[in-house]
Structure 1
């Protein structure tokens, strides 16, 4: 009875996409496609529309990495709060509109975390950590006056994060622990008292409204509080617990709607702990705010940011979400909400009458990683940045020549470029230019920019060369807009490639193969050969192909790919050793394997060849083929021929000898049995069984007398390498 064994032939890697050859379209129209670009003075709307936008110009460069805070007076004079990574980095620079700078304050602390202007022209300077709140003259004259020292409070907070002015009082946001203090400036000497404290880590940001209401946002639980400063003994009211752990910024519009930015997921923070010692014998542990850590280390907060809207009636709602940005500052300007973000250095504008993506405009891309603070001035907005520390002016007027450059598109193949399709309210309000090349980087031997006519002539007619990579640029004129650009292209057809071929003699693919796990064999492509092809997506199918072990079956398995993603069909050819002509075995195969019966061919050594064709998706004139030959394999269905078996009784044992020959493959092994007993393995005379002819000479014990008397029968079986078997027997007389 033949034993059934399954053979596993692993599938090769198939292309991830099986798209037929033909004209294709590269389209750029959505916001997420547009924002992967470089632009100069172009605003990107949430629906993907491009419009001329402001162009940020540097006013002042600090020479360091961090600007943490910013304030500006009515004349456009800016006060810039600097910081660093070591004590003594805290400084304030006075920067005039023409860019001239003067240092008006320096401290032993690490950073100037907040700046505010007093009604009398003085500058409030809040430093951290272990800092103080100072009053500094606008020109830096005299010695800075200390208005508030956290070390003199019972709570002794380590950080001052923000400060606002309401009437003749300054309100200070502190952290580690979280608290808000009121500093009364109506008397000769400032008088401070604790306004309220929470169980949170920090109070990160403050907002003063025209009616004297103080808003505060915390870090840890992400709670937004409000408290009336005009009512004696008023208590803070927690108006909203945001889904995010840290409230980084607050702003209010003319209608009394408050906007708050939240970042970071709630739960156990991953930032390192900051030890702060309170009363003697008591140790309290706080963590740094995620936004401050992200700016200092120039890293992202993975969860991005959310902006919440709290209506005049106190109803909170989520207004917008920025999945890749950390909001560091919010501000109202010209009826719109501005958000300064990192770590891509962008300024976003939101229409407060809209909601979500439709209200968003990607307004400005800075030459810095983080936009940290905003300050409105006549005709525009000042923006302070970190990494690197700069001050930019963003005007209200759009740039006269706004240029938007798309990302580089890889067509995967050398391609012919056709007609550009453009959606625009006014086709004459922009110029469209295109360039192409055959290396990924445009500076390495690409064509020059070619002006093209949208929706009319092909790019080739405009002088854009056939190439693998392409890029477009739109130069917007005042009042112009552009909704989307799509480029038609036809990849040049390339021949399919057969990556590897393996032949498994003794295996036949069955519709339902019985698999015995502990008797499986894996027939795989050599790893080095499978990986030879470069630049194509390999096979995603890794499930093995089950084949039944069958002495007369042969299975051929191959891997192939087409860089155009074309559907393929295959033909199997063969030729014998020493022959010149290939003969067709089977064609028009869509699978990547073929099983056949070896008895169709005479015994001998053969080579198989697989020819892959992209004919299913091309006319005959355009069809291309690729081929690959297998290694040599042997077909042997004929059993060995045993010579005469000579056996005789000698010294109470059977001495036997015989020869065995095979025409195609070496003799693999032999075995014998006496009187129908168990088969015993038999070695040839030379011990090694490696030739087409072997001689056997051996002595075997007789059965025990009580088991057998008289004549004895000795039988032999001889196998070749392909398990073909021949048998013979002889009678031995006692």
Structure 2
């Protein structure tokens, strides 16, 4: 978070607010990509250097009305096929964007799709573990049944042989065009999670839970390119230079990466009715993501890492930018050759599951709203960015909001604010304010509350998919606010044993002949018991204890919700008095020593008051106080009255009376 200087108008308003509301003003500036990413995006992108711009338009093509889209493929004619769950439906969208249900398999979920050179569509499903071939009329028939539970990935070579990645046995099958298949490679892993071809015609395979990336030659000879520290290779793609891009995940079921016997897979639950419910892999919170670039020499370069995201698919663009489909906020990231990451778009679905390109057109599918979108080259017609909710930690009054555009000729934006007293905005929050117009500093209209949020609405115009221009970028947004002053509180008040004085720590001076630890220990037996145990008592951080006859040490602790500077005053009164008498005021220390020698004997109380007037104007300053338990000051020596001795033989009895003024007799000696 940056704390850049405010414009002159904003400073004026901020100073005015300081005089009216007291306590210390706070500025909240959002200007870094990591800060912007905590908000919500609709038609807005954030660049790697932390600028908000218009996103490329995300045009909806088809609502499948299914919960999950697991797979997608495009044929040579530009028809897009998407596999869904939990009803085994496959949808087709033609190049004109018209789509509908096309086929259905006898299984719950279509996890993989592929198209051969003759335009025949293959679907891998689960939990039945069969591969289906679908004709032009959308009729599906079982093409290959490997006696597996899941078909996770499909790949087709130049001879139209189909390669099938399965689980939970981790086997890859090679199936000829007639549907005859054999084991191509047994990985000894649990799941084959991804298949892809490199430029030399070798099959690339990703696994779980080992997180291995294999290169397998045409004769089935394997070579591990990379052993990821994470548990699953989820997606792969290859660029025109032969570089391999791979996304690896760490799953919640396997927090240590390699220990879990079962890899991540869609969860199944079956009731008495026999109904099977499938949940998309990774719908929970992400526990780790790494994206690698592996060159033709097998050198691995980490492009991107995240602790709270999942990646479901990768797409390499002709310009070298890598697009990443992520969850759990349905975001599409763009990573350039410099490893700079741009949040390209945020979809309505919780996960972007598939990314495809056909003749320059980019398609994206989502889950937990099973939609198909096209990512257009032109910008969105409008865009809205909502900041994260700011917690002022207590009731606050809002000062000004100011924002900075990339240049003075930028297309104007509309800025709004709202406030409320729940952590998550709901119907109890105040409505969004009217739009603010002065970027140099506008007085915030939202009522005082604990929580605050702002949003920016972009007008039509902005950037394209290439993100080459940032002329209409918002670079930073700053708000000021002041917490309502709250009373400081004393949290403890301690009376130390009589005879112990609390003094400021000092450097020892050997020439003075005084030991900092207290009196000469050779005379310890002549001191009160409380002083004899002086070494064993905890010391205050800002004071030290020494013996002083008649001293009464008092210490206290206090806190202020606003973090204000505090001043203290200490008062006393005797048992027979009504009014309090001031001992000291404007103390910064949290201790004080009463010189009991100058006080008459009797029972006393002390009262400590704490005030935040050091940080607030007198009219707004607040204070609180605490009263101690009673204590006794006894400076007078006890009086002794001896009686007449009573002698009986060799035994004599002497009665005596000791009187004190309020104190207690601890010990009497005779000789």
TM-score scaled to structure 1, two decimals? 0.72
Instruction: Name the Cα RMSD after superposition.
Output: 3.8
Q: What are the within-5 Å matches in structure 2 for residues 74-85 of structure 1?
A: 77-84=79-86
C-alpha distance 270-245 of structure 1, shift in aligned 2 (>3 A): closer
C-alpha distance 727-652 of structure 1, shift in aligned 2 (>3 A): closer
* 1:177 maps to 2:169: yes
* 1:558 maps to 2:556: yes
- 1:253 Cα deviation after fit: 2.4
How many residues get paired?
Answer: 599
- 1:609 Cα deviation after fit: 2.5
Which of 402, 409, 421 is the aligned partner of 1:420?
A: 402
Larger Rg: 1
SS at match of 1:420: strand
CA distance in 2, matches of 1:489, 1:348: 34
Mapped contact 2:543–2:591 kept (Cα < 8 A): no
Q: Corresponding residue for 2:113?
A: 115
Q: Corresponding residue for 1:198?
A: 187
Which of 208, 226, 242 is the aligned partner of 1:240?
A: 226
CA distance in 2, matches of 1:295, 1:218: 18
Q: What whole-Å deviation, never above 9, does each CA across 1:413-434 have from its counterpart, x for those lacking one?
A: 5234135142423564232423
- 1:52 Cα deviation after fit: 0.8
Mapped contact 1:495–1:614 kept (Cα < 8 A): yes
* 1:350 maps to 2:335: yes
Which of 361, 371, 377 is the aligned partner of 2:342?
A: 361
CA distance in 2, matches of 1:470, 1:490: 12
Q: Corresponding residue for 1:106?
A: 105
Mapped contact 2:251–2:264 kept (Cα < 8 A): no
Q: Corresponding residue for 1:216?
A: 205
Which of 312, 317, 321 is the aligned partner of 1:328?
A: 312
Q: Corresponding residue for 1:163?
A: 154
C-alpha distance 606-53 of structure 1, shift in aligned 2 (>3 A): same
CA distance in 2, matches of 1:210, 1:272: 30
Q: Corresponding residue for 2:621?
A: 624
Mapped contact 2:415–2:455 kept (Cα < 8 A): yes
Q: Corresponding residue for 1:133?
A: 131
Mapped contact 1:25–1:487 kept (Cα < 8 A): yes
- 1:650 Cα deviation after fit: 4.7
Mapped contact 1:181–1:196 kept (Cα < 8 A): yes
- 1:382 Cα deviation after fit: 3.4
C-alpha distance 651-220 of structure 1, shift in aligned 2 (>3 A): same
Which stretches in structure 1 are left out of the alignment for 5+ residues? 1-19, 152-156, 275-285, 524-541, 668-718, 730-734
- 1:107 Cα deviation after fit: 1.7
C-alpha distance 474-592 of structure 1, shift in aligned 2 (>3 A): same
SS at match of 2:285: coil
Which of 220, 229, 244 is the aligned partner of 1:258?
A: 244
Mapped contact 1:643–1:658 kept (Cα < 8 A): yes
Mapped contact 1:611–1:625 kept (Cα < 8 A): no
CA distance in 2, matches of 1:444, 1:379: 46
* 1:439 maps to 2:421: yes
- 1:252 Cα deviation after fit: 1.9
Q: What are the within-5 Å matches in structure 2 for residues 277-288 of structure 1?
A: 286-288=261-263
C-alpha distance 508-269 of structure 1, shift in aligned 2 (>3 A): same
CA distance in 2, matches of 1:234, 1:270: 31
Q: What whole-Å deviation, never above 9, does each CA across 1:262-307 have from its counterpart, x for those lacking one?
A: 1228997679999xxxxxxxxxxx52237989944732342x1111
Mapped contact 2:612–2:622 kept (Cα < 8 A): yes
Q: What whole-Å deviation, never above 9, does each CA across 1:34-57 have from its counterpart, x for those lacking one?
A: 111122111122222111114546
Which of 353, 364, 373 is the aligned partner of 1:372?
A: 353
Q: Corresponding residue for 1:708?
A: none
Q: Corresponding residue for 1:509?
A: 502
SS at match of 1:32: helix
TM-score scaled to structure 2, two decimals? 0.78
Which of 401, 420, 433 is the aligned partner of 2:382?
A: 401
CA distance in 2, matches of 1:645, 1:65: 102
CA distance in 2, matches of 1:634, 1:437: 51
Mapped contact 2:230–2:249 kept (Cα < 8 A): yes
Q: What are the within-5 Å matches in structure 2 for residues 294-333 of structure 1?
A: 295-296=280-281, 298-302=283-287, 304-333=288-317
